[in-house]
Amino acid sequence: MQDFASSDFDPDAKKRIAYEELLNPQQYAAVTTDAAVALVIAGPGSGKTRILIHRVAWLLDKGVPPHSILLLTFTNKAAREMMQRVYELSGGAAEELQGGTFHSFGRRILQPHAELLGYQRNFLILDRSDAKELLSACLLDANIETKGKLFPKPDVLLEMFSASQNLSMSLEEVIEKRYSTFYEKTEQIEELCREYTRRKLDQNKMDFDDLLSLPLRLFKEHPDLLEYYQRRFTHILVDEYQDTNHTQNELLELLAGQTQGLMVVGDDAQSIYSWRGACFQNILEFTERHPDAATYTIETNYRSTQPILEVANESIAHNIKQFPKKLETFHKAQPVIPKPVLVTCGNSYMQAERIASQVEELRMEGTPLREICILYRAHHHAMELQMELRKRNIPFKITSGIRFFEQAHIKDISSMLRLTYSPCDETAFKRLIRKLPGVGPKTANRLWYAFAGSEWPESLGAGLDRVSPRVPAKARELWEQFSQSMKKVDPVTTALSVPEMIDSLLEDFAREWMLAEYENGPFRLDEVEQLKLYSEQFEGLEDFLCEMALQTNADGEQDGTEEESDRLGLSTIHQAKGLEYDVVFVMMLCEGMFPTFRSMEKSENLEEERRLFYVAVTRARKHLYLIYPQCRSLGGNFERQLPSRFISELSAEHFEIQTDAQSRNPFQSRRRRFDFEDDFNDSEEDPF
């Protein structure tokens, strides 16, 4: 919770706020509502933060005591910014306003009442690293038998426990629905969860999920406390309501049971986080839970041009489950407004070249690189683009995290391949051997000397066999799985291509191992599959490994004389939510990539993918480029790609259509979106 001093407090300042001048009519109606319960659907760029801070100021003007107002947000940054703006707007009148994240609010509730749950008031909060360490100790002491199948690592276990709490599902249900690989281990996992919970209590520690679930339990077990907090907070405001999970919403509904004013602000069309527990039904069914709620739709957009908004409007209209709205730009007086550009490229390499060329052109025309962002659905979509940018010495930063080739699961596969190519690769060997249970730095060093005990070259299997007797007992079975898998791809005894090597490693060992080793295992496996496809363009293992090394070390080579702040942005769409740029490229817009094949299995998943596309489009202020490659390499061959339905659902009139000389306009075949074979066969010139 944030508190601000009132050193320059002007008691009359709050009375001088000109709401009608500061707000548009839609914002003003929401801010000044007398409704006890209100749902505000605020589209992208519509000023939802402005609505919230002015709503607080309005309540203060009406005489609501600041300590009776609770403002809940999702990030500490948002909380600090919002509280500061409220303070400045109200002239210091919001000094005692209660505001912060759901987690910080949970801590404030728990601290004075911890004894009721068996804790002491001075409890400590475990961060992710601390929670992992504590769970690792539980796993070590449990001495769990893991023969037959790999047992999930602490990161994966914590992901399971968190899903169970935040989705209000039993751990068994979570495992069955999301982690079916480990279903036969359910009993052991449940026992670990109980032990982890017991140790937290014994050590007077809580993790982040406890900060939500324990206040909920406290309110359910102690109705008198719930009533006290219901009376205390007469007005509750919630930011980014579409991102709440089941536990957060249940906590909110209990707290607001007797409130004089509940306002939730969000955008159902920007609900894109179901994979991390967000419950879309919370905002969609709000008016069903609160039949008397007033609904306000904020459609004036202060960010994007109208042509960009037309694309967003038409796209999201295809979703059935939504609150309908139509965004209108505030900037209507611009003399020349360019249409979004739809670019059709022959293949993914041409796509990378096209984007890089356009970036260079924009840069020459005066657009700073920091005002340009390339958005993609998944990390692996940008592999060819990263190569092209590096080749052209265009500095870039990845907003969404580390580069594709630097991700842990990609480096694991790389290490396996490096070890087959060069068994004297100490770094690769030690990275892999330390993944085994009970193998620390000293043991890894001892095993390395056993492995490298002869002159190379010799078969990889000979070195692996020397290690086997020296592997700790608890790791021996896993080692044997790994060893046998590596022997099958040994270049001395086999003649496999790089894609065949990756396939073999996945089939015999790596697939099951990664599901146990890493959170978000299925997504990581998807990226390994894309690495396999990427490897098809190289003549042999040596070329492939060299290119991977170059891409991994690209950071230090591309800085040049550019200022750190002026770099092209690359980001997944999820990570770009809340950001905006003058120029946005959305790439790899083909069926199976965006939307993903996995999302097509259920209508609700497909609608979330469309909401993700909507978020991507609305990041752009001035210029929007949508790019679709007609082919990509699969299984050693070029396979035709269908344009994403998110393109073919749109009207061609919204776009300036640009095609490579060898490419076809995707709108020409809209009526047969799932059967393009004839169109391609009729083409006078094959793009390859």
Instruction: Give the residue numbers annotated as catalytic, written as ranges.
Output: 48-49, 239-240, 270, 619
Three-state SS sequence of 201-233: HHCCEECCCHHHHHHHHHHHHCHHHHHHHHHHC
Q: Tell me which residue has tokens 């249970």.
A: 437
Give the pair of three-digit tokens for residue 279.
């419950």
d(C-alpha 600, C-alpha 609), whole Å: 9
Give residue 299's identity as a one-letter amino acid code. Answer: E
Give the pair of three-digit tokens for residue 610.
């469309």
d(C-alpha 34, C-alpha 623), whole Å: 40
Q: Please report, for residues 172, 486, 503, 568, the alpha-carbon distance to residue 508 in angstroms, rounded to integers and kept in the order given.
A: 27, 9, 9, 40
Query: Residue 523: which H helix or E strand, with range?
Result: helix 521-535
Half-sphere CA count of 209, side-chain side, radius 13 A: 20
Q: Is 297 helix (H, G, I), strand (E, B) or coil?
A: strand
Cα distance between the two ends of the chain: 60
Q: Tell me which residue has tokens 């004075």.
A: 112
Q: Is the peptide bond before 666 cis (omega within 30 degrees of 0)?
A: no
d(C-alpha 479, C-alpha 444), whole Å: 13
Q: Please report, for residues 99, 484, 512, 640, 675, the alpha-carbon distance to residue 637 in angstroms, rounded to integers and kept in the order given.
A: 56, 30, 28, 10, 19
Q: Residue 571 forms beta bridges with which residues?
A: 375
Handedness of CA 195, 198, 204, 206 (dihedral sign): positive
Residue 128: exposure state from Cβ atoms within 10 A (0-12, 13-18, ≥19): exposed
d(C-alpha 31, C-alpha 59), whole Å: 9
d(C-alpha 269, C-alpha 577), whole Å: 12
Q: Which of 357, 331, 403, 355 is nearest to 572 (CA)?
A: 403
d(C-alpha 124, C-alpha 608), whole Å: 37
d(C-alpha 38, C-alpha 286), whole Å: 10
74 φ, ψ to 5°? Answer: -105, -20
Give residue 385's identity as a one-letter amino acid code. Answer: L
d(C-alpha 393, C-alpha 559), whole Å: 8
Give the pair of three-digit tokens for residue 281.
């039904």
Cβ atoms of 165 and 209 within 8 Å: the answer is yes
Cβ atoms of 265 and 241 within 8 Å: the answer is yes
Cβ atoms of 7 and 104 within 8 Å: the answer is no
Handedness of CA 17, 21, 24, 29 (dihedral sign): positive
Give the pair of three-digit tokens for residue 179.
């982690």
Residue 648: exposure state from Cβ atoms within 10 A (0-12, 13-18, ≥19): buried
Q: How far is CA 100 from the centre of its chain?
A: 22
Give residue 78's identity as a one-letter amino acid code. Answer: A
Length of the chain: 688
Q: Which of 576, 30, 1 is nearest to 264 (CA)?
A: 30
